[in-house]
Each structure stands twice: as C-alpha cells, then as structure tokens.
Amino acid sequence: MIASVGTDLPLQVLRATGRYAGPLTWDIDRAFPLAGQWLESKFATWAFSILEDWAQGRFDALDAVVFTRSDDNAQRLYYYVCELRRRGLLRGPEPILFDVGFIGRATSAARTVASVRALASRFGVSDAAIEAELVRADAASVPAPAPAAGPACLLAGTPPPDERVSAMIAAAGFQPHGDTLEQLWARECPGVAVGTGDPCAAIGHRLHEWQPGPRGFFNRGAAVVQAARAVSAKAAVLWFVEEDEALVWHLPAQRRALAEAGIPTLALSRRSWRADDGLDAEITAFLKEVAA
Amino acid sequence: MTTPTGQRMRQTLACTAAANAYQKQFGIDLKRRVVDEGEPFAIVQADTPHEIFHVMDIPIITNQWWSAYISAKQLSGRYFEVMAEHGYPENSCKYCSLGLACTLANDPKTAPWGGLPTPTVLVARLTCDCIQHVFGQWAEAMGTEFFAMEAPAWEHKDPRWFAHSNRDWDEIYQPDRIALMVSEMRDLITLLEKRTGRRFDEAKLHHLMERINEQEGYIWEANQALAKARPCPVSIGEQMSNTMIPQWHRGSDWAVNHARRFRDEVLDRIAQGQGAADDERIRLMWIGAGVWHDPGFYQALEERMGAVFVWSMYMPFAGPQYIRELKDRPMEALASRICSMNEVLHLPPWMNGWMESEAERCGLDAAVVLLPPDNRLSQSGTRLTALSLEQAGIPVLMIDADMVDAKNWDHDRMVTLVGNFLTEKGLA
C-alpha cells in the first residue's frame, strides 16, 4: 500500500496503482518522545506526529509514502526519514519525494510533468490506467454542496488539524467555511483534461497551475476575499500557528483586503495548532460582537 | 547585530584589515554606481549564481550583505518594529526580511544610502517556506520583478559528497537538477540582457570560473594546513572575514590576490608556530551562521580555559562546494556549485556527513550549535548532526539564539553556558 504526505500530489497516479491508502494522518494531542529527539522546534506539529508513528512502527504495513516538495515541512521530513532509515533508527515504508514546481516558467512546468512520469514509472502504472482514473474522477466530480443555513464565517490562514476550530465557530452560531489540513491533503487536483493521449503531461501541467499549498504564487489578499464572498461570509477568522513560515507573510495583505471588503476579521498569529490556547473564547467573543 | 555587545574580535592578520578596507570601499563604489549613477542592479540571495552578474558587469546587492549593512548602521531594531507595525508577527524570519523592512519603512532620511533605488530584478532560490513570500512582497514594494529559482528534490544522497564533489559533480548533484538550473540561468540571462542591454559571454564565464577555482584553491589549501596545525593559527572570525569578503567578489583580481595573501599569512603563522590563542587546549566547532552581534564571543573562553573555536563552515566550504573541474561546461559546473549550496548545509545526510568528517579532519573536541528559535531553515539538520557528532564521540551543546537578533543573547551568560558544558564533559 502507498500513502501520501502533503498537497500538490498527483493522486490520480497513486489511485491508478490500486494500492493508494490515502494521506497519512496524525494525532497531535500527545507527546512525541522519539520525534522530539530528531526534529527541531519549528517543524509543524503534524510532522512530529507522523515521525513518531513511523518510529513506533505504525506505518510498517505500508510499502511507500510519497512526500510533496511543495511544503517545506514535508520535504524536510522526507530527508530526515531517509537519514533515520539509513542509520537504522527507522524501518517501515520507502519514502519518495515528489518534485513539484510552481514558478511560472516553462522549466518548472516541465519539471513537474517529468516528476509525474517518474512517479508513474516507479509504481509501474500505465498511461491507460492513469487515463481511466482521470475519466473516473471526471465522471465522479460533483458540484459543491449548497451552503448550510445561518451566517457564514470564513476560516483562513494555517489549515487546522481537524474540525476543532470549525466546531468553535459553529458553537458561536456561525457556519464555518475553511479546509482542514486533512481535507487539503486528500483533495485531488481538479480539472485535469481527459483524452489528451498523454495523461501524465495533463496532470503535470494542471498541478503546476493549481497551487493550493503554501508555495503557490498568487495574490492571497484577493483570494481570501474571493473565498469569503463565495460563501457570503459575514465574518472571517485568520488563524496562523507559531510554526507557520509561509502563509503568515500574507496576514497583513489578507487583513487589509478583508477590511476593504467590509468583512469583520479576527486575526490571530503565533497560535497553537492544537487550538488549546484560549481560541474558543476569542472566537466566541468576536462572533458575538459580529452578530450583535 | 541588533545591539552590539562591545566585545570585539582580535585581529592577528594584516590581510584582515585589508579585506575590511576593501569591503568598505566596495560599499562606497556600489552606492555610487547604483544610487548616484543609476546603473541597473539586482538584489540577490547569497545562494544564487552571482557569477552571471559578474560576467555581465551588473552590480548586485546580496540580501545577507545588505542585512549586515543595515545592522551595522544600528537600524535592525527599528526595522523589526516596522515589520510589526505593518502587521507581521514578531517571530517572522529576521534573517531574510531586514531589506524588505527597510523598503517598507520608506524613510530615506534614516535608511542606509537613503534607501535603495528600484532594482532590475530580485533573485532567490526557493530553499525555505518564507523566501518566496518575502522576495515577492519586496519586489512588489519596489515595483519590480522577482525571478525565483527552484530548489528541486535531491534523490542522490551521498553522505561523503564532499570527498569528490570537485570532480564528480554531475553524479553528486544529479544531471537533471543541474540541467534545470542551467535552463533557469539561461532564462535569467535573457531577462537581464533584455532589461539592461548588457551581454552575457560564456567565454568570460569560463575564465571567471577558472579564476574562482584558483581563489578557492588558495582558501582550501590554507584550510587544510590550518586543520593539521597545532595550535590553530587563525581565529574563526578572521577565517570568516578573509573567506567571505573575497567570496562576494569571487573571481575578481582582488579576490584571487587576497585569497593568495591570506593563504600565505596562514602558512607563515603555522611555520612560526603562532596560534590564534596563547594556550590552546580545547578545539571547538561552531555550527551555524556567525553571531554577528557578538564577535568577541568566540574568543571569550580562550584565556580562561584554552578553548578555541577552530572551525566554522565558511572557510572549509570553499573546497568541496566551490572548486569545480570545468569539463568545458562552465554553465553546468556553475549550476552544480549553486544548486545545492543551501541543502548541503541544512539537510541530512549531506550536512551531518560533512560535519562529522570535518570534526575528525580538524581534530575537534566539542561542538557548539546555534539553534535560532524562529527559523526552520537555520535550525534544519542540527539535531541529526548533533546525533552524528555525538556518536563519533564529539560532545555537542545546542544554544537557542538568533544570529541577527541580540534580544535573547547575553554575552556573559552564553560564555558561562559554554564553559560549564566543557567542564561537564570533562574537557576543561
């Protein structure tokens, strides 16, 4: 079986193997005695959890884990896992790094296409199997569900580990809208062209354009306003954790853009990914004020 | 750098003063060209192909050098406040963003050089999560373009890369990674030619690469002699100055001549049995960027314990990471120098493989590692390197501190910390 770590991966290729088990998951509400010896403090908490599980043998049933290069935590964790395996400190699945480029030049697009081909070749997946997976995904795509009733609140910034932050928003009487990291990692690159005769190239070019992860090149101020308007948000929570070194650089621009759009915003930075630092009280107070 | 401690670095080499004087004059000349005469210029990260700009005679301002210049003007504290005023969290990476802060401050009266004019381009390799965001926003604030370069995946993992990287660079750095960087460099050259009207000449690059090999060869020869010498003839502060200042000007007549002069002075001190310290008893390794705000730190334990910092990455890096057999392919040779410059210093197995070997080569007794709290890239690889060193019998002390922010640095406390560590390990 094969698992994955991160966004921006060609999940269609992994699914076409018939052995894809989905993204690795985490349990962050515990200690990490083994991983803590090897990882430095600025690694994301999920990286500690995954490495701890790896060291405890919880992934031993897997054959391979594909890491993305689009996230600094994921790509560094790949090198650490390789080194720990070399030193005999870890066993378990083979780590593989998927090289995805985002720079808006032909060289980066070509690199991404080559990476998709290399991954397919590594797993022995034929173009026909990948094409069949693209056709299946295209047929299975469904429109987004209609928004639930009640005022909407956009949750943006660092993707939370699970529904815990959304639950805080819901408890304050608002409909939360925002992806968890778990959802982002499981999301397949949309809109890949079918019937091109070269499915790896089709996936590679689309991945190069897609850019959902922290390394994407786009105007994140405009994007957050667009996301808020798409759900008619009455409020927004911009939430960034201590370890975030990428998305947090857009906090000033996103805050400004939301203010200009007239959307009340609670901006929080340097927070705990566990959301155990008084976040619920702050969200409740903020949304109560918005609702008043 | 934020608040200098007043502890100064002792100088023993005549060439150190010459290097500092040259760099000061270079700053004056650079300002004249860029600010007064309005020449096209670029802002670049340290791990980008400076050689392209040198060949095209386009002045460059290196982000790390500009940060040091800002700090030397005692402005970093003010600029950290500016970042906070603009809404950036206080733990944002300080090492990369001082230049952006200077631009955002938009205060020509207090900015060095009155602030920078608009560059032709900003260039950075995407080696961490923050740099593309910092450089992207900096370019936007300056009304110019950001040319990013990929830091691609590296699957060929050779822990002993340093032993044959001069010759076998194709294999070590991977042909596909080298080819990608060559393509990117050609795109950069096209952009520069279009924007500046200056031409790139590959024959000139070939000559420059040969001159760089000569320069780095002198530094490497000096370092090999230094590693064997007892006592260590030159402090790491002077190793850094005499390696890094020529490094900014690599391949120029001055840089080559200076490297030769430095080598000669090092060899001369070794021949005379002169040491950086009077009574060397413990040989230490420094892992991380220099503590620019407290250069006197490195010499503080010499008198009391005979503990001498013998090794930092800057000087020995010249051998394995800069010298290249050209093989009539100067662009590829250059790409192999640049395409992993950051990775070998911050990722396993390259970082720990090299440093473990270096500790043995230089006869080191213990290592001190800088662990900046707010910077994943600077922290990266340090724990696994510590593990490698400890397994090789080298005790390791990790220090939580930042190389550019003196806020959590207390000279006396840090010196005591190292002293206590050496005592606990039975070295003093």
Q: What's the average model confidence in pLDDT over B394-404?
A: 87
Co-location of A20 and A130 in the same domain: yes
Contact between B82 and B3 under an 8 Å Cβ cutoff? The reply is no
Is A198 part of a structural domain of the chain? no
Strands across the sheet containing A152-157: A175-177, A152-157, A233-241, A265-271
Q: What percent of chain A has pLDDT over 70?
A: 97
pLDDT-derived band at B2 (thresholds 50, 70, 90) equals very low
Interface contact B150-A240, CB threshold 8 A: no
Q: What's the average model confidence in pLDDT over B84-107?
A: 91
How far, in Å, are A134, A182, A189, A199, B34 from residue A193 at the CA level? 8, 26, 11, 8, 48
pLDDT of B368 reads: 97
Beta-strand relationship, B145-149 and B121-125: parallel
Co-location of A71 and A12 in the same domain: yes
B4 has pLDDT over 60: no
Q: With an 8 Å Cβ cutoff, is A27 touching chain B?
A: no
Question: Residue A95's beta-bridge partner residues?
Answer: A65
Co-location of A10 and A37 in the same domain: yes
Of B378 and B336, the structure prediction assigns the larger pLDDT to B336
Co-location of A93 and A180 in the same domain: no
Tell me, what amino acid is at A135?
A: V
Question: Residue B119's beta-bridge partner residues?
Answer: none
What phi and psi, each to the nearest 5 degrees, are found at residue B395?
A: -65, 145
**H and E: helices and strands count for chain A:** 12, 8
Is A111 part of a structural domain of the chain? yes
CATH code of A43's domain: 3.40.50.11890
Is B3 part of a structural domain of the chain? no
Is B352 part of a structural domain of the chain? yes
Nearest CA in chain B to A74: B129
Co-location of A117 and A163 in the same domain: no
Contact between B402 and A57 under an 8 Å Cβ cutoff? The reply is no
* Tens-digit pLDDT profile for residues A107-128: 999 999 999 999 999 999 999 9
Residue B143, number of CB atoms within 10 A of its CB: 8
Optimal mutation site among A5, A42, A247, interface B, most CBs of chain B within 10 A:
A42
How far is A37 from A41, CA to CA, in rounded Å? 10
pLDDT of B404 reads: 65
Interface contact A245-B128, CB threshold 8 A: yes
Nearest CA in chain B to A108: B150
* Tens-digit pLDDT profile for residues B379-398: 999 999 999 999 999 999 99
Token pair 């920078």: residue: B116
Is A201 part of a structural domain of the chain? no
Is B2 part of a structural domain of the chain? no
Contact between A237 and A286 under an 8 Å Cβ cutoff? The reply is yes
Token pair 């005469």: residue: B37
Tell which residue, A5, A15, A2, has the closest CA to residue A203.
Answer: A15
CATH code of A261's domain: 3.40.50.11900
Token pair 């420059």: residue: B208
pTM: 0.96
> Token pair of B329, please?
């392919």
Contacts of B385 (CB under 8 A, 6+ apart): B287, B348, B351, B352, B355, B356, B369
**What count of CB pairs under 8 Å joins A to B?**
118
Domain stops at, among A140, A173, A198? A140
Tell me, what amino acid is at B166?
A: N
* Tens-digit pLDDT profile for residues A45-72: 999 999 999 999 999 999 999 999 999 9
B140 has pLDDT over 50: yes
Contacts of B77 (CB under 8 A, 6+ apart): B2, B3
Domain stops at, among A112, A140, A168? A140
Sign of CA dihedral B122, B334, B287, B389: positive
How far is A148 from A175, CA to CA, in rounded Å? 7
pLDDT of B3 reads: 45
- Mean pLDDT, chain B, rounded, equals 94
Q: What's the average model confidence in pLDDT over A229-252?
A: 96
Is B7 part of a structural domain of the chain? no
Co-location of A283 and A158 in the same domain: yes
CB proximity under 8 Å: A 179-208 to B: none
Contact between B294 and B406 under an 8 Å Cβ cutoff? The reply is yes
Is B4 part of a structural domain of the chain? no
Co-location of A127 and A166 in the same domain: no
| Among the ranges given (A115-119, A198-202, B49-53, B410-414), the one the predictor scored with the smallest mean pLDDT | B410-414
Chain B closest-CA separation from residue A107 CA (Å)? 7
Contact residues, chain A, for B383 at CB < 8 Å = 37-40
> How far from chain centre, in Å, is Cα B134?
19
Co-location of A8 and A117 in the same domain: yes
CB proximity under 8 Å: A 31-70 to B: 37-43, 69
Tell me, what amino acid is at A282?
A: E
Co-location of A69 and A159 in the same domain: no
How far is A235 from B165, CA to CA, in rounded Å? 55
Beta-strand relationship, B121-125 and B42-44: parallel
Contact residues, chain A, for B133 at CB < 8 Å = 246, 249-250
Residue A223, number of CB atoms within 10 A of its CB: 16
Contact residues, chain A, for B374 at CB < 8 Å = 42
> DSSP label at B113?
G
> Token pair of B252, please?
């120029």
Contact between B44 and B53 under an 8 Å Cβ cutoff? The reply is yes
> Token pair of A290, please?
């918005």
Contact between B104 and B85 under an 8 Å Cβ cutoff? The reply is no
> Token pair of B371, please?
């662990």
Burial degree of B194 (CB within 10 A; 0-12, 13-18, 19+): exposed
User: Which domain does A30 fall in, by range?
Assistant: 2-140
Co-location of A7 and A132 in the same domain: yes
Q: What's the average model confidence in pLDDT over B30-49?
A: 96
Co-location of A67 and A166 in the same domain: no
Question: Residue B42's beta-bridge partner residues?
Answer: B60, B121
Least CB–CB distance from A111: residue in B126, B150, B379:
B150
Co-location of A183 and A258 in the same domain: yes
* Tens-digit pLDDT profile for residues B343-377: 999 999 999 999 999 999 999 999 999 998 888 89
User: Which domain does B121 fall in, by range?
Assistant: 14-424
Interface contact B150-A107, CB threshold 8 A: yes
In SS3 terms, B367-417 reads as: EEEECCCCCHHHHCCHHHHHHHHHHCCCCEEEECCCCCCHHHCCHHHHHHH
Tell which residue, A1, A3, A2, A13, has the closest CA to residue A188.
Answer: A13
* Tens-digit pLDDT profile for residues B149-189: 999 999 999 999 999 999 999 999 999 999 999 999 999 99
How far, in Å, are B16, B236, B360 from residue B232 at the CA level? 16, 10, 15
- The crossing angle, in degrees rounded to 10, of helices B236-248 and B253-271 is 160
Measured between its terminal Cα atoms, the distance across chain B in Å is 30
Contacts of B294 (CB under 8 A, 6+ apart): B4, B5, B7, B406, B409, B411, B414
Is B342 part of a structural domain of the chain? yes
Contact residues, chain A, for B82 at CB < 8 Å = none
Structural domains of chain B, count: 1
Contacts of A229 (CB under 8 A, 6+ apart): A261
pLDDT of A54 reads: 98
pLDDT-derived band at B272 (thresholds 50, 70, 90) equals very high
Chain A closest-CA separation from residue B388 CA (Å)? 10
Is B156 part of a structural domain of the chain? yes
> Token pair of B55, please?
């060949």
> Token pair of A103, please?
């720079």
Q: Which ipTM was obtained for this model?
A: 0.95
A142 has pLDDT over 70: no
pLDDT of A145 reads: 64
pLDDT-derived band at A147 (thresholds 50, 70, 90) equals low
How far is B77 from B405, CA to CA, in rounded Å? 8
Is B234 part of a structural domain of the chain? yes
Contact between A80 and A51 under an 8 Å Cβ cutoff? The reply is yes
Burial degree of B365 (CB within 10 A; 0-12, 13-18, 19+): buried
Structural domains of chain A, count: 2
